[in-house]
Amino acid sequence: MWGIVRSALLVAIAAYLGAASSVPDFSDLDTVDHIQALARKALDRDPDSLAELGYRYLMGDEVPRDAEKGRAMLDQAVALGSAVGKAQRGEMLLHGLDYPQNVDRGLRDLESAAAAGSAFAARVLAFAYDRGHPISRNPEEALRWYERAAELGDAGAQNNLGWALLKGKNRAPVDAARAVYWLRKAAEQDQPNAQTTLGDAYEKGRGVPRDMALARFWYERAAEQGFAVAMLSLGEMAEKGLGQPPDVEEAAHWYRRAEALGEERGEVRLAALEGASWAEMRLCEASMDGWGPSKADIDPADAAKWCERAALKGNASAQARLNSLRTERPTRGPQQAEPRPN
């Protein structure tokens, strides 16, 4: 049966491409059910199926990678009106992936696909304007395309839009309630950044009433997916006794899991939990200055605790930090880490 389908598909593809010399060789396809289903839909001139087959050839996904075949199928899918194909080709043209880079043509393809309802295309545009690559950074355009992609249901865009509204990024007006709306939309699609940020919103009472049970619920959802930042948050809740009695063993469990995933803060918090003076000093500094380039985890109250512990062990730098905390009024509250790109 598959041999008949394949032969018919070769004829159909030949008609699509208009020249027998351009016919892709489908003899390298195995009997993967999904590939067979795509081939059958392509026989009915379904442009999105042809786009997916082309994209799979370009990516080497379940078929041998073949850029020439992939481009031919993707181009023909676009000619047949596939917004999916136009979005995929637009991204490749924009970044010079398997096509010679053509930024203007890539932007046209992406904008056309986004207008036709492609959340993927809108997200690619948002990322390009947000990161300033390969086009000039434009915060307003980034925000506009994040909103479009979010409205179309893209979880990554919903997360980034929620973060922008929470923090005033990309010149968005700070609106915690609206931020939580979009974060919840993304979290319900199992987007771990959004789940963690939503948990933080419930923990701190930002845009929603403070609720430790819901904070824990969303942190756990993200931790189940292996998201180390959520594990750190669960560890801190257990250590500080937020919504539960303090539980050092549970805190250590979460810090170990975060450390095993390469999260440096897991290692430091675990060592501090065990009384290591170097780790207490590291947390004293990080709680005052922030952690990493994003300056995450600034928390004057936490800083006072860790600086005092290190100072009691004779650390002069910790004592100086503690003195500065006592004489200066903090201007910033606890900060959460920047989300990863999606």
pLDDT digits (tens, 9 = 90+) for 221-280: 999 999 999 999 999 999 999 999 999 999 999 999 999 999 999 999 999 999 999 999
**Rg (Cα) of the chain, in Å, rounded?**
26
Q: Specify the pLDDT at position 254.
A: 98
Judged by DSSP in three states, 154 sits in coil
From residue 341, alpha-carbon distances to 40, 65, 83, 124, 187 in Å are 36, 27, 24, 11, 15
pLDDT at 9 over 90: no
- The H-or-E segment that residue 312 falls in is helix 300-312
CB 41 within 8 Å of CB 49:
yes
Work out the widest C-alpha separation in the chain, in whole angstroms. Answer: 82
Q: Specify the pLDDT at position 314.
A: 93
Q: What does the alpha-carbon distance between residue 155 and residue 132 come to, in Å, rounded to a whole number?
A: 21
Beta bridge mates, 81: none
Hey, what are 46's tokens? 């379904």
pLDDT confidence band for 194 (50 / 70 / 90)? very high
Q: What does the alpha-carbon distance between residue 75 and residue 109 come to, in Å, rounded to a whole number?
A: 11
322 dihedral zone (left: phi>0; alpha: psi -120 to 50; beta):
alpha
* Closest among 19, 12, 114, 105 to 53, alpha carbons compared: 12
- 126-171 pLDDT per residue, tens: 999 999 999 999 999 999 999 999 999 999 999 999 999 999 999 9
Q: How far from the centroid of its chain's Cα atoms is residue 66's Cα?
A: 29
- 22-60 pLDDT per residue, tens: 434 444 444 357 777 777 787 777 999 989 988 988 998
CB 107 within 8 Å of CB 125:
yes
How much of the chain exceeds pLDDT 90, in percent?
Answer: 72
Q: Specify the pLDDT at position 115.
A: 97
Q: What does the alpha-carbon distance between residue 87 and residue 243 come to, in Å, rounded to a whole number?
A: 46
| pTM to 2 decimal places | 0.85
Q: Which own/partner pairs from 64-67 qualify as long-range (CB within 8 Å, at least 24 positions apart)?
A: 64/28, 66/24, 67/98
pLDDT confidence band for 329 (50 / 70 / 90)? low
- Residue 116 dihedral angles phi and psi, to the nearest 5°: -85, 0
Q: What does the alpha-carbon distance between residue 155 and residue 230 come to, in Å, rounded to a whole number?
A: 18
Q: What does the alpha-carbon distance between residue 6 and residue 40 come to, in Å, rounded to a whole number?
A: 9
340 dihedral zone (left: phi>0; alpha: psi -120 to 50; beta):
beta
CB 255 within 8 Å of CB 266:
yes
